[in-house]
A and B are shown apart, each in its own frame.
Chain A
Amino acid sequence: MKRLAPWLFIASLLTGQAFAATPLPADSVYQLHVTLTDQDGHAQPFAARRGQVQLVSMIYTSCTMVCPMIVDTMKLTRKAVAEPGRDKLALLAVSFDPERDSVDALRHYAAARKLDMRYWTLARPQPKDARPLAALLGLQYRQLPDGDFNHSSELILLDTDGRIAARTSTIGRVDPEFVSAVNKALEPH
């Protein structure tokens, strides 16, 4: 390891983050150190998504009930967001079934659902990280004996620093209040 300049060392002690430009807000979901692997097999820390405004939800790809509706609602919501902010809005669906949702499964799902991968990311956490991530996002799931899941269905808006700016449990249609929150988060500061 390279030797750190003393002032950097002190700064890292003070902020707890050696190299980030600005410290992560204490209420950021990026405080959780988890690795997400996307549909192309790229693994990176969840916190690498810092800087993007994004809609996040958790699904599992073998789900035939509400998950396709969650994905559709994310699409619809993005469509309802005002230009030009819309182009900066990222969509992230994380699997809470990483045992079965391999990188291949994610890629097939993206193709089957015709997701535009310019702004979509499908990702799987490591199995041990699914539950903490869901807890942090305020999402609930429970596996049933047949392999399906009971789960809550919500869209969550994360600001550029990973703070939860808004959430909606309206699925199947656009929630106007939620769209306003997305528009606001996308406004230049």
Chain B
Amino acid sequence: MRVWPLPLLMLGALLAGPVAAADYAPLPGGTFTSVLPADGKAAPAKIAPFRLRTEPVTNAEFLAFVKTHPQWRRDQVAPVFADRRYLSHWAAPDALGDALPQQPVTRVSWFAAQAFCESEHARLPSWYEWEYAAAADARRADARRDPAWRERVLQWYSRPSSQPLPVVGGAPDVHGVRDLNGVVWEWVDDFNALLVGSDSRDQDGADKMKFCGAGAVSMQEKENYATLMRIAMLSALKAVDTTNNMGFRCAKPD
């Protein structure tokens, strides 16, 4: 290991500010009954072991990223990668202002989220990885059968979106992951492909599925309205879109 002179170390600490290296928790994966059958009928998803960021990416972390990747500043980003509201809640392209450092970053496009994850040598989780992770509670890897789990997830949806976002750092689940439900919506890698029809020859059918959502696609676990709503919301977005409540976290292979 190289030994850095003390002043340089202090400078590094100053520059890095409150941002420490992100934590990733290992998740074992396995066979998972998604609300979205893998084959459009009934097949469960197979999820390889992976690691998931324990918390959503925060304003402070994303600020550090745009400082080292100025092409992702809101005043420099190409419009093919982010809409005009990208990071518009920050005081300046390189200053948070009223946005709290520990709040999850929102108003980030899919492209921006992806670029951030790449900078951490990671990627966005797939829908199946995210849904599988979010099924956990403090004691179980899959708590979805428990009405209390559903109630808690649904409760969040009834919170007015005008309320300020909570800061990250909720209670860890059985995997050590926090804030999957109840803080922000999160981008996934394949966000826009979830409702593509299962037979691509049938263009008309694919369109109907896109727009009829839960009614048209053969979905399982229909009691999980909250998860279905999330799929419908993700499917309505384009990769350049940014919204008040849309954040992200990253994943890595095991």
Interface residues of B in 180-232 (CB under 8 A from A): 189-190, 192-194, 196-201, 203, 206
Interface size in chain A (residues, C-beta < 8 A): 29
**Contact pattern, B 64-102, Cβ under 8 Å of A = 1, otherwise 0:** 000000010000101111000000000000000000000
Q: How far is the CA of A31 from the CA of B71 in the complex (A)?
A: 11
A142 at the interface (CB under 8 A from B): yes
Taking a contact as CB atoms closer than 8 A, the residue among A128, A135, A169 that contacts B192 in the complex is: A135
**Residues 12-45 (chain A) with a chain B CB within 8 angstroms:** 16, 26-29, 31-32
Query: For the complex, what is the distance from the CA of A150 to the CA of B38, rounded to whole Å?
Result: 11
Bound complex: CA A16 to CA B78 (Å): 11
Q: Given contacts A26-B79, A150-B198, are A140 and B203 in contact (CB under 8 A)? A: no
| Alpha-carbon distance between A169 and B81 when the two chains are bound, in angstroms | 23
Chain B residue contacts of A32, Cβ below 8 A: 80-81
- Contact, CB under 8 Å: A142 / B203: no
- Chain B 30-80 residues near chain A, CB threshold 8 A: 38-40, 43, 45-46, 71, 76, 78-80
Residues from chain A with a CB closer than 8 A to the CB of B43 are 145
Determine which of A132, A138, A140, A145 lies in contact with B114 in the assembled complex, contact meaning CB atoms within 8 Å: A132
Whether B78 lies near A144 (C-beta < 8 A) is: no
Given the known interface contacts A142-B196, A144-B39, A152-B196, the answer about A169 and B78 at a Cβ–Cβ threshold of 8 Å is no
Q: Which of A138, A142, A169 contacts B190 (CB 8 A)?
A: A142
Residues of B122-141 whose CB lies within 8 A of A: 123
As a 0/1 sequence over residues 132 to 166 of chain A, the CB contacts with chain B under 8 angstroms (1 = contact) are 10011010111011100111110000000000000
Which residues of B lie under 8 Å from residue A69 when comparing CB positions?
201
Q: Determine the chain B residues whose CB is within 8 A of the CB of A138 once the complex forms.
A: 238
Distance, CA A153 to CA B38, complexed state (A):
20
Residues in B whose Cβ lies below 8 Å from that of A65: 199-201
Q: Which residue of A lies closest to B36 (CB)?
A: A142
Interface of B is mostly: loop
Question: Considering the chains assembled together, what is the distance between the CA atoms of A108 and B37 in angstroms?
Answer: 33
Q: Shortest distance in angstroms between B196's beta carbon and chain A's nearest beta carbon? A: 4
User: Beyond A26-B78, A27-B80, is A142–B193 a contact (Cβ under 8 Å)?
Assistant: yes
- Considering only CB atoms and an 8 Å cut-off, how many residues of chain B contact the other chain? 32
- In the complex formed, the residue of B with least CB distance to A69 is B201
Closest Cβ of chain A: how far from B116's Cβ, in Å? 13
Measured CA separation A140–B114 after assembly (Å): 16
Cα A148 to Cα B198 with chains together (Å): 10
**List of B residues within 8 angstroms of A16 by Cβ:** 71, 76
Bound state CA distance, A149 and B80, in angstroms?
26
**A residues near B39, Cβ cutoff 8 Å:** 144-146
Given contacts A65-B201, A66-B201, A150-B40, contact A140 B196 (CB under 8 A): yes
The reply on B248 being an interface residue by CB < 8 A is no
A171 at the interface (CB under 8 A from B): yes
Closest to B123 in A: A128
Task: Contacts A31-B80, A31-B81, A136-B80 known; list 12 others, CB within 8 Å.
Answer: A26-B78, A26-B80, A27-B78, A131-B114, A132-B111, A136-B111, A136-B239, A141-B196, A142-B196, A145-B46, A150-B198, A150-B199
